[in-house]
Amino acid sequence: MPSHIALLRGINVGGHRRVPMAELRMVAQEIGFRDARTHVASGNLVFASDVPARGAEAVLEQALERRFGFAVDVIARSATEWRAYLVDHPFAAEGEGEPNLVMLCIGKQAATLADAAALRSRAAARERVELRGDALWLYFGDGAGRSKMGLGPGAGIWTTRNLRTVRTIAGMLD
């Protein structure tokens, strides 16, 4: 049974839009996903399913809305796609020293040259954007907290994870 990754967008571990990770794993098991595991409390789910990754997005979104009473955007990728992100990422040197400043940005839709250009237009001197396949890679040389670039293009549904998290999730697939 193939492994997949689902990233939840816009949830909170406490307060408004709360999705506890134990309940996320339970929901995943209830809808037939196997070996559901989470990483940190920000909505990173690894699971096995014969349902293709993009189909799993919709199934999980519907189940989460039924359980919690609010819509949660889910972006899913296959294990093969996830591993490819790590092979093809453009900020290897930066990622070795500062993996928290390198971010993978993926969306429900594939990233485009126009998406990369939109982010570059807002980037500061020590920020860079690269398009690789369906993803954008962002480097925040001075940290994302002070950046005017943002964590994704304006249009569409996007989520980001730092390189440390991307690597950890890849390790969970093995």
Amino acid letter for position 172: M
For range 120-131, the mean pLDDT? 96
Locate 117 and state its tokens: 């250009």
Q: What is the pLDDT of residue 13?
A: 58
Q: Are residues 109 and 69 part of one domain? A: no
Q: Are residues 103 and 28 part of one domain? A: no
Q: What is the number of domains present in the chain? A: 2
Q: Are residues 98 and 165 part of one domain? A: yes
Sequence-ordered list of residues with C-beta below 8 angstroms from that of 22, at least 6 positions apart, any chain: none
**pTM of full prediction above 0.75:** yes
Residues 49-90 pLDDT 10s: 999 999 999 999 999 999 999 999 999 999 999 999 999 899
Q: Are residues 159 and 131 part of one domain? A: yes
Q: Are residues 9 and 75 part of one domain? A: yes
Say whether pLDDT at 174 is over 80.
no
Identify any residues that bridge with 147 across adjacent strands, giving them in sequence order: none
Q: Which domain holds residue 60?
A: 3-80
Say whether pLDDT at 14 is over 70.
no
Q: Are residues 100 and 44 part of one domain? A: no
User: Contact at 8 Å (CB) between 107 and 75?
Assistant: yes
Share of residues in the chain with pLDDT > 90 (%)? 83
CA dihedral 97, 83, 159, 146 (to 10 degrees): 10
Strands 102-107 and 135-140: antiparallel
Identify any residues that bridge with 135 across adjacent strands, giving them in sequence order: 132
Residues 152-172 pLDDT 10s: 887 889 999 999 999 999 999
